Copies of this chain bind each other. A is one copy, B any other.
Amino acid sequence: MGRAPTIRDVALRAGVSVATASNVVNGNRPVGEASRRKVTEAIAALDYRLDRAASALRGASTRLVGVVVPDIANVFFAGLVHRVEALAEGDGYDLLTVSTGEDAAKERRRVEALIARRIDGLIIVPVADDSMTAFNSGRDGPRLPPAVLVDRGAGAPGFDTVRANCEAAGYAAARSLTDLGHRDLAVVTHSRGLDNIEQRIAGFRRALGEAGLEGRDRVIYGGQELESLRGAIEIELNRPDRPTAIFALTNVCALASIKAARGLDLDIPGDLSIVGFDDFDWMGALRPYLTTVAQPVDDFASAAWRLLTRRLKGGASGGVERIELPCTLKVRESTGPARPRLRAVADAR
């Protein structure tokens, strides 16, 4: 019944010192063959388990990594966390996962909490591009452990970053639409100011420029919520000069776009072509099957984990590394040729 066995009990039973027992448990210093065997046996006999809380206290690592995402219920982030978890387990780390809900104050609170837990490292999709730099500029020097910024904050000084090649992705998506003859395009996103989103828009604009359509874009900012997005999109689709194609910059925007089109009884892609973002199982049940820009989630996770473990292993000092991963445009059924239609209002401009 009594309390769980400690390393002291193990040492006693094995007839060696506590230090030796400890060294067997975490191969920190070499231990002779005979002692090692005795200790291993004692551990098995007592069913001893290392107490990580104590281990962490004495200066060793916690083998705990914080993962911070805007919303774990979003399929994109859930997929990311899932992959990171697999990699972390392989290296003997556990994950402390938190959601921020796109709220800067909450992000700050949650990251502070993670620091109080002495996490060894941090993988974070920050709420704002610069929200992490604030942490390391306090008067007491850096507060953050090694951190990798994923998806956002690619310009933040002093951090390793992983993100998609957003400009190219935006270009490819828009280009596929202009190639189909669309001349009235709209972009749907949540809000201003995130670099990755701006890059997607920049790529989109580049394609428009090439098609001789500069200035003919509209950007719909619909907020974080599905319903507010849908409302904003419907307003745009109700205009007489409504767009014939929509490029949704996140998977939630894509869903909102589909719902808006359905609500207005617009045929996809007959009346409205839609290019979405991200790619996951349930999209396969959609009819029409969504044309989308797939981000390489697995590669995001692998790259982030590689960068983080590099720092964790002390191979730290090298300059920051910025990884940009290519997206793939998956052309499916939700995009089609622009249907010629009366353009009274647009022509009158």
- A315 at interface, CB cutoff 8 A: no
- A141 at interface, CB cutoff 8 A: yes
Interface centre among A52, A71, A89 (most CB of B within 10 A): A52
- A349 at interface, CB cutoff 8 A: no
Total chain A interface residues with beta-carbon distance under 8 A: 53
Mask of A256-295 contacts with B, CB within 8 angstroms, 1/0: 0011001000000000000000000111111100000000
Mask of A74-101 contacts with B, CB within 8 angstroms, 1/0: 0100110110010001000011111100
Contact A72:B72 (CB < 8 A) given known A52-B116, A113-B94, A138-B47: yes
B82 x A49 contact (CB < 8 A): no
- A53 at interface, CB cutoff 8 A: yes
Task: Name A251's closest neighbour in chain B (CB-CB).
Answer: B282
A53 contact from B49, B56, B113, B258, Cβ within 8 A: B56
Contact A258:B285 (CB < 8 A) given known A49-B115, A72-B82, A99-B85: yes
Within A98-145, the residues touching B (CB, 8 Å) are 98-99, 110, 112-118, 138, 140-141
Q: Which chain B positions have C-beta within 8 A of A255?
A: 281-282, 284-285
Contact A72:B81 (CB < 8 A) given known A1-B140, A286-B286: yes
Interface residues of chain A, those whose CB is within 8 Å of chain B, are 1, 4, 47, 49-54, 56-57, 62, 64, 71-73, 75, 78-79, 81-82, 85, 89, 94-99, 110, 112-118, 138, 140-141, 226, 252, 255, 258-259, 262, 281-287
Q: For the complex of A and B, list the 10 residue pairs with the smallest distance between their C-beta atoms, beginning with the closest.
A: A53-B56, A73-B82, A78-B78, A258-B285, A97-B97, A282-B282, A53-B57, A73-B78, A54-B57, A53-B118
